[in-house]
């Protein structure tokens, strides 16, 4: 709750900061300070819950704050801090409204805080909208770029369509159960009416759209590719992780167990398999590293769906570690991409000779995304797959995931081969010392979590 209020207030303040502060660097530092305040506010919640050994509810039980909620919020805020330190200076290259860009991202963070703690379907709807609407604006913030305008329009139209489906699902579930409260829906414990069953399916489809799960992923590559790269990094990491936690919270609390679970679980298993296969196969054929990372984000969503299918403690650990590992590695990779003038694979030829630190940072981040041992991505994949094995009945899906992970090595290593083994003279912006320091810290965190995952998991 403290983090939610802090991010919302910071967003409002930042909207007016641009009227009085013209120095863009000062606006960035203000945003970083506001983020630190939110992080500290969230730590108060963590300390309170640990001290009382239980969570708490607020606003007539419409919000429930648990230890998992607060630890996940800490991961989200920490990832955003890394993102600001690595890429915050790039905001001013998009357009004039730097303060408004930061404000919109703080509103998205407020939506994520709401999504991690909702206990009522109306709050879920509100959280999804607060997360989505600022993204439509950020996607089109490069006003003089037709691809950016197209991405914004496409995102808005597809997002509105999925919001309509989500709302219809909520209405049907309310009609079948008579409640919006997750704890009182009673969906998992009894036979369902056709009305409620259709409502559940509509919500599965709508949430699948929000997290880019196949076959509802088709908007993702065009939107990610057309949006300003600095905002794509935020949308593909922090926002996606927030969407997944909302998805997991909904299905693990409201729809857990009961005689209909095998039916919707089968639907989710098919969606997971399709997401893994389509994301990885399509990424192989991309000619642009940015589009490859876009399809890679779809493939990574397939792994995160395992946490949704597995109702156990390891699944909670898995999604927490996955959110941290995936966010750090992808933010690091996109920060290197922002320094490049050419986003094609050939554009990376010879980068290791010209900027060895950038090439090294990119390599570690790609290792993590591929799940190579001694990086955070390895344990992230291990935990979500182990949760599925522990749950039982999904061995076929785990085998598909392992095969897809092997396929992903091919397209991630194409970038590494270009940087280290191909001759070229890439056009790259000279990184500042502050950027180099932050990239080294990001890489160190990726390796540290890959060796000691309990540094994060012990808080659960």
Give the per-residue pLDDT at 451: 94
Number of domains present in the structure of the chain: 1
Please give the average pLDDT of every successive group of 10 residues along the chain, which has 460 residues.
Answer: 90 89 88 95 91 86 90 94 91 88 95 92 93 94 89 92 92 87 71 80 89 86 90 90 86 65 80 94 93 92 89 85 94 94 92 95 96 94 92 89 95 95 90 93 95 87
Range of the domain at 390: 1-458
Please say whether the beta carbons of 365 and 330 come within 8 A: yes
Q: Report how far residue 298's alpha carbon sits from residue 218's, in angstroms, rounded to the nearest whole number.
A: 10
The token pair at 325 is 């590992």
Task: Report which of 305, 246, 314 is spatially closest to residue 273, judged by C-alpha positions.
Answer: 305
Please say whether the beta carbons of 151 and 225 come within 8 A: yes
Tally Cβ neighbours within 10 Å of residue 121: 26
SS (H, E, C) 38-57: HHHHHHHHHHHHHHHCCCEE
Please say whether the beta carbons of 66 and 42 come within 8 A: no
Give the per-residue pLDDT at 231: 93
Q: Report how far residue 304's alpha carbon sits from residue 309's, in angstroms, rounded to the nearest whole number.
A: 9
186-230 tens-digit pLDDT: 666 566 778 888 888 898 889 998 888 888 888 888 898 899 999
DSSP label at residue 347: G
Percent of the chain with pLDDT over 70: 97
Quick one: CA dihedral 38, 39, 43, 46, positive or negative?
Answer: positive
Task: Report which of 290, 298, 239, 231 is spatially closest to residue 111, judged by C-alpha positions.
Answer: 239
- Estimate to the nearest angstrom the gap between the alpha carbon of 278 and the chain centroid: 19
Cβ neighbours for 47, distance < 8 A, ≥ 6 positions apart:
none
244-280 tens-digit pLDDT: 888 888 877 776 655 556 777 788 899 999 999 999 9
């Amino acid at each position: 709750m403290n983090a939610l209020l802090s991010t919302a207030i910071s967003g409002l303040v930042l909207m007016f900061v641009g009227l009085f502060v013209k120095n863009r660097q000062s606006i960035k530092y203000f945003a970083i300070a506001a983020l630190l305040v939110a992080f500290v506010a969230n730590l108060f919640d963590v300390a309170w819950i640990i001290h009382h050994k239980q969570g708490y509810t607020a606003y007539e039980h419409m919000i429930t704050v648990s230890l998992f909620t607060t630890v996940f919020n800490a991961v989200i805020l920490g990832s955003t801090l890394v993102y600001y330190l690595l890429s915050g200076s790039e905001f001013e290259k998009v357009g004039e409204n730097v303060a408004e860009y930061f404000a919109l991202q703080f509103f998205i963070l407020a939506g994520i805080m709401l999504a991690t703690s909702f206990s009522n379907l109306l709050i879920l709807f509100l959280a999804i909208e607060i997360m989505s609407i600022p993204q439509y604006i950020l996607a089109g913030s490069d006003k003089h770029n037709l691809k950016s305008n197209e991405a914004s329009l496409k995102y808005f139209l597809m997002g509105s369509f999925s919001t309509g489906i989500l709302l219809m699902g909520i209405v049907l579930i309310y009609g079948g159960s008579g409640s919006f409260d997750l704890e009182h829906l009673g969906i998992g414990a009894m036979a369902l009416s056709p009305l409620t069953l259709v409502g559940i399916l509509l919500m599965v489809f709508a949430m699948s759209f929000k997290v880019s799960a196949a076959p509802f992923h088709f908007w993702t590559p065009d939107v990610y590719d057309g949006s300003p790269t600095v905002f794509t990094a935020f949308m593909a990491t922090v926002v996606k992780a927030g969407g997944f936690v909302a998805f997991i919270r909904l299905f693990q609390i409201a729809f857990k167990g009961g005689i209909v679970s095998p039916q919707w679980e089968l639907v989710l298993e098919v969606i997971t398999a399709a997401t893994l296969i389509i994301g990885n196969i399509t990424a192989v054929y991309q000619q642009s590293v940015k589009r490859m990372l876009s399809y890679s984000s779809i493939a990574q969503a397939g792994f995160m769906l395992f946490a949704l299918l597995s109702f156990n403690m390891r699944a909670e650990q898995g999604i927490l570690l996955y959110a941290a590992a995936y966010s750090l590695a992808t933010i690091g990779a996109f920060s290197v991409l922002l320094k490049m003038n050419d986003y094609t694979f050939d554009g990376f030829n010879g980068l290791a000779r010209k900027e060895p630190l950038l090439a090294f940072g990119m390599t570690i981040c790609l290792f993590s995304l591929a799940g190579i041992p001694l990086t955070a991505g390895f344990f992230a994949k291990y935990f979500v797959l182990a949760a599925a094995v522990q749950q039982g009945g999904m061995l076929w899906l785990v085998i598909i995931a392992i095969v897809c992970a092997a396929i992903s090595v091919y397209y991630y290593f194409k970038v590494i081969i270009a940087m280290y083994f191909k001759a070229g003279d890439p056009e790259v912006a000279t990184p500042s010392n502050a950027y180099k320091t932050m990239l080294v810290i990001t890489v160190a965190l990726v390796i540290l979590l890959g060796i000691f995952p309990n540094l994060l998991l012990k808080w659960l």
